[in-house]
Chain A
Amino acid sequence: MCKKIVILILTVVIGLTLISCNKTTTPAAPTDKEKSTTSEKSTDDTSKTDNTSQPEKKPEILSGTLEIWSSGEELGRFVKGFNEIYPDITINITVVPNADFIAKLTPTLASGQGAPDIFTGESDYVKYLVEAGYWDDLRLEQYQAKTEDVWEYIVSVGTDAGGVLRALSWQSSPGSIMYRRDLALDALGTDDPQEVGAMLATNEEMLKVAEKLKAKDIKMFASWQDIFNMQFSNRKQPWVVDDKLIIDDSMLEFMDMAKIIMEKGYDLGVDPWAPEWIAAVESKDTFCYVLPSWGYQFVVKPGANTTKGKWAMCQGPVPYVKGGTWLGIYKDSPNKKLAWAFLEYCCLNAKVLQDYGAEYGEFVSVKSANHALAKGEGEEVLGGQNPFVFYNEQMNKLPADLMTGYDGTINGAFLSTTKDYATGVLDKDAAIAQFKEDVKNAYPDLTIE
């Protein structure tokens, strides 16, 4: 009898374990408690909602819980407003640090167990996710994303090689050179963004300005590595074309520029995000940061205290865009209707994005919202300059989207070997050879000449 009991217990335990391991036996968790108004008409209403839709338009009544994985905190800012329209949708946002995001996401997607309804992708790996096809096609009938009012760049990055739109964003990150007006006036004789921008029209001229600043004991850059953000858009081709590594001439030029900056001491000699780099916002001897819109939002604006009003933005040698976070709907999500309601709210609703941009100062993905924000007052930190006016101009000048799924690793390898060249550890040929070797090691299937 005892033996039978033991066998029974073991069988039950093992059976339960196997069930929990076997994904195919897991029921397709009917967590979608969507209580749509059931009529066809109401579904049509949702699909027709475009970027001009107002929250007052009596949206479809939806309820349920939406799981979102994000690599940043910003999405949480939309929840309160979203819940005013959809009070019955509970939004759970799990923030996973960017460095660990892919490590957490890929096994979940591959196994299909516990995947979120919406997940984000940062610029370093967004193309990898876009091409992987785990985000649903946002042009499908149940979504019909209308993107006429979205910056082309955002749509282009969110679109895969087959032309399928997989992801959108609430933000956009055009670049600038953020410089100190007081130091510019002292060393260059003007603090006007147009005039300072004209002095920085090419890489050579930028280095001449650096020399002028050096004469006044001012470091031009916080870190030479910041310039890479800009130079990245100066390429004619992406890092990889037809499975072949392309080292654009502008990248080679950047290596030389980095070396000059290091040798002549035009920067602080620190890596970006080092404490000293951040502290340079308040320094007396650091002229500029070469950073996109998030740099203003997360570095200059919060850091400026005694230097409030002493900052301005101008264009450097090339208009650029760097960074950004995209989001898409998991293809097997049981809550697609809820997910679309949220994604549309964050990424396509001009009114919502205009309010968001006004509150947080972040440049958004929808053109009309940015144009409306450009009519507002300027920023105190920037001495009254309105960054939206500047960013709108920059977005219109942007080159084609040069992002690839390889960018995160290749950029890291390139900066690392450029540093070796700039600090004199390797000569240029050896540095390039090392870079190629590192890329080959990371992506052995690429052709490298």
Chain B
Amino acid sequence: MKRKTKYCHNRKWAGYLFITPFFLTFLIFGLYPVLYTLYLSFQKWDGLSAAKYVGWKNFQRILQDKVFYLSLWNSFRIWLFNFIPQMLTALFLSALFTFNQVKGMKFFRAVFYLPNLVTAASIGLLFNLLFDGNKSVMNYILVSLKFPGAPFSFFNSQVFTSGLVSYIQWWMWFGYTVVIIMAGITTIDSRIYDAAQVDGAGKTKTYLYITIPLIKPTLIYLGITSLIGGMQLFDVPATLSNGNGDPRKAVLTTAMYLYNQGFKNHNYGYAAVISVGLFFIIAVISAFAFKALERKGEMN
């Protein structure tokens, strides 16, 4: 009887039982695909015939693959030109909404968030309608305004296409960032603001020297998640460029390159290596970011 009670009250086992469902799901849908990808990266496999072990060949290839490096740079560049304006806009709007009684603030916040709810495929099509062709909406406007040089072949310009993808990403995500930053701001103790007011700090100084430093963890969190998402960018550039990243691979992101190598060219082994490479890069970036967060924690 005593033994029974001892076992039943041993919370160690109950704990394992409770975490089992998560770990089983994780093992099957999380760890297994990762390990299988690692296994595939040493194989040559066209998806249908038997896989063949090729050792480090795929890894040797990726180190010399210019397109892989280009796709990494594309992903990073598109992310950077979306992230900087996104943060600036979000910081400005969140300051505006927090410190001023803006009429209809909730309405605007919801409207800013709306593009995030539209599927990327629809957005790709929408922007195609706006810019593709001499008689596209934008060219029509420019021609009727007698803009010099119009009509433009927008999608033949690498700078324009890449910039457009960054813009679309900004447009889709700044509303989300505003919401998160505003949530971060609400956690700040109002007494700190009162103290600042007593000390004679104006709104700008309060925001720059009190609000922003105090929401740094939120900003870092946004930075990490945005960068990870940015390095995995796929849908918008894929729909906008018919999947191949044209013009001249300007918007070929690493995830698109991976997809094309795997599912279009049937090089599953090499696609697996690209995914390992991407995993490694994201892991390193995340490690740095976590370190930064930790240091912030220590400072606090």
- Tell me the chain A residues, 413-449 only, with Cβ under 8 Å from chain B: 413, 416, 419-420, 423, 425, 441-444
Complex alpha-carbon distance, A183 and B16, angstroms: 78
Q: Are B13 and A2 in contact (CB under 8 A)?
A: yes
Closest 3 CB pairs of A and B: A270-B133, A106-B47, A276-B133
Please give, as numbers and ranges, the residues of chain B lying within 8 Å of A416 by CB-CB distance. 244, 246, 248
- Tell me the chain A residues, 109-124 only, with Cβ under 8 Å from chain B: 109-110
Please give, as numbers and ranges, the residues of chain A lying within 8 Å of B65 by CB-CB distance. 441
A215, CB-defined interface residue at 8 Å: no
B285, CB-defined interface residue at 8 Å: no
Q: Are B248 and A269 in contact (CB under 8 A)?
A: no
The proximity string for A residues 261-278 relative to B, scoring 1 for CB distances below 8 Å and 0 otherwise, is 000000011110011110
Count B-side interface residues using an 8 Å CB cutoff.
44
Q: Which of B98-106, B169-177, B186-194, B258-266 contacts A (4 or more CB under 8 A)?
A: B258-266
Please give, as numbers and ranges, the residues of chain B lying within 8 Å of A13 by CB-CB distance. 20, 24
B153, CB-defined interface residue at 8 Å: yes
Q: Are B13 and A134 in contact (CB under 8 A)?
A: no
- In whole Å, how far is A180's beta carbon from the nearest beta carbon of chain B? 18
- In whole Å, how far is B43's beta carbon from the nearest beta carbon of chain A? 12
Q: Are B128 and A17 in contact (CB under 8 A)?
A: no
Known: A268-B133, A270-B134, A425-B248. A99 touches B7 (CB 8 A): no
Sample of 15 A–B contacts (CB below 8 Å): A3-B13, A9-B17, A13-B24, A102-B47, A102-B264, A109-B48, A132-B46, A133-B48, A269-B133, A270-B133, A274-B128, A275-B133, A276-B132, A408-B264, A413-B244
- In whole Å, how far is A201's beta carbon from the nearest beta carbon of chain B? 30
A400, CB-defined interface residue at 8 Å: no
B203, CB-defined interface residue at 8 Å: no
Which residue in chain A gives the minimum CB-CB distance to B44? A445
Complex alpha-carbon distance, A441 and B261, angstroms: 9
Which residue in chain B gives the minimum CB-CB distance to A18? B28
A1, CB-defined interface residue at 8 Å: yes
Please give, as numbers and ranges, the residues of chain A lying within 8 Å of B265 by CB-CB distance. 409, 442-443
What DSSP secondary structure best describes chain A's contact surface?
helix
Please give, as numbers and ranges, the residues of chain B lying within 8 Å of A82 by CB-CB distance. none
A128, CB-defined interface residue at 8 Å: yes
Interface core residue of A107, A270, A274, A441 (most chain B CB under 10 Å): A441
Complex alpha-carbon distance, A50 and B233, angstroms: 52
- In whole Å, how far is B275's beta carbon from the nearest beta carbon of chain A? 14
A6, CB-defined interface residue at 8 Å: yes
Instruction: Say which residue of B20, B47, B128, B262 sits within 8 Å of A110 (CB atoms).
Output: B47
Which residue in chain A gives the minimum CB-CB distance to B263? A103
Complex alpha-carbon distance, A2 and B5, angstroms: 9
Known: A6-B17, A17-B28, A102-B263. A268 touches B248 (CB 8 A): no
Instruction: Say which residue of A6, A99, A423 sits within 8 Å of B13 (CB atoms).
Output: A6
Complex alpha-carbon distance, A106 and B271, angstroms: 14
Count A-side interface residues using an 8 Å CB cutoff.
42
B4, CB-defined interface residue at 8 Å: yes
Complex alpha-carbon distance, A9 and B265, angstroms: 45
Please give, as numbers and ranges, the residues of chain B lying within 8 Å of A412 by CB-CB distance. 244
Please give, as numbers and ranges, the residues of chain A lying within 8 Å of B135 by CB-CB distance. 268, 276
Known: A269-B153, A420-B248. A274 touches B132 (CB 8 A): yes
Complex alpha-carbon distance, A277 and B261, angstroms: 30
Please give, as numbers and ranges, the residues of chain A lying within 8 Å of B48 by CB-CB distance. 106, 109-110, 132-134
A241, CB-defined interface residue at 8 Å: no
Please give, as numbers and ranges, the residues of chain B lying within 8 Å of A443 by CB-CB distance. 265, 267
Known: A6-B16, A274-B128, A442-B265. A1 touches B4 (CB 8 A): yes
B225, CB-defined interface residue at 8 Å: no
Which residue in chain A gives the minimum CB-CB distance to B61? A444
Q: Are A275 and B248 in contact (CB under 8 A)?
A: no
B243, CB-defined interface residue at 8 Å: yes
Q: Are A275 and B264 in contact (CB under 8 A)?
A: no
Which residue in chain B gives the minimum CB-CB distance to A1? B4
Which residue in chain B gives the minimum CB-CB distance to A412? B244
Which residue in chain B gives the minimum CB-CB distance to A416? B246
B122, CB-defined interface residue at 8 Å: no
